[in-house]
Structure 1
Amino acid sequence: MSNPTPRRRFLRTALGLAGVTLLSRPAQAAILTPQQTEGPFYPTGPMRHADIDNDLVRIAGAVRQAGGTIIRLTGRVLDRSGNPIPEARVEIWQCDAWGNYMHTRDRGSDMHDPAFQGFGHDITDAQGRYSFRTIKPVPYPGRTPHIHVKAFAQGREVTTQFYLANEPANQRDGIFRRLSQAEQEAVSMRFTDTGGDPQTTVDITL
């Protein structure tokens, strides 16, 4: 595997200082991360920026960072016994701060924030940890705020969505409402203030 980029090394250091394993919620290991729809806006290779990493708010060569509230999304990829899985691939994609996806099927794609990567991936470390720097998800017509997630590990794959905990629009969202209460909790993002960007930790179990 190639050496991590400076930005990835920075994120790893920040995670270590924040004690990410202490922030993980053990209860999530008891339930499999629920499978959910991929949706119509999963970006294929030609749609993705050449600068694909785990920092979605800063694109190489861009003069500014993405609009929106910047957050750190962290967690672990676990097997069904709660053991961490190293070298798992985690992908996320989401709309920009104005509700536009970087996808040809989105009518607003021509207005997509050019400073927002829109899609990113990370590879888990020896403790199964992943991390992303992205923006807090926003709603758009017909959907509550969410981040799309895919994880690949040990020949298995899960596609799901992460939601804002206690978001009123969740109860009007048909995709969210199909989940059991335990599944909803397993994919809900709760933020802590660590003195920098708001941070949330969601484990993925598959």
Structure 2
Amino acid sequence: MKKQLVSLRDFLVTGTLGPVRPDMKLVEIAEALGSPDGWNVGEDAPVPLYWFFGNLEISFDNIAPYQINWFQIEGAAQLKGKFETLTKALKLSLDRFDGETKPSELLAAGLWDLEQATVYYAALSDDILLNICAGCVQVHFQVDTRFIGDREAVDYLNASTVSLLVRDVDSRTKVDSIYSYSRPATEEIPGAFNWRSLSGQDYLDLLR
């Protein structure tokens, strides 16, 4: 299969990764990318519904015709340089982004309408969660929480102003995963019940 060059910037804007669109069905993915490198099989699923192609992972609905629920670039913190081999069929042009790109840098890059893009943040156990949702695209960030010392993440979050949080966290992030959903993305992570949000524009304004 001939390798295609696809654009990370285009993926962030549209949610489409070259031949892979969020509205595709399982059989269409098989036609576009061939056989996966591996898959997970659910106990009650008639077909494997979670496919792996290198760092591209795809989740399908459990009802025929097995529509995509979402797909993601996993391990995005490792992206670096100008190009990255994503799968056997796809080579990714990073377009000056990489795993070290900060939320503020993505928001300032002209990818999205900043009044429509939403930054979600929450605390879960010892972690601070920070994600950007823009249409069907969702970017998850890892946050290095060593700066909060022995405090629980939820205690830090409750004691901090939004301005302080943004200034503390933005420079301490790495991109974790980049998702594209078959419908506009929202936050539904089990165990995180204290999601808060602000617009992309408000996030950038807090850093000025």
TM-score (norm 1): 0.27
- The structure in which a higher percent of residues are strand is 2
TM-score (norm 2): 0.27
- The structure in which a higher percent of residues are helix is 2
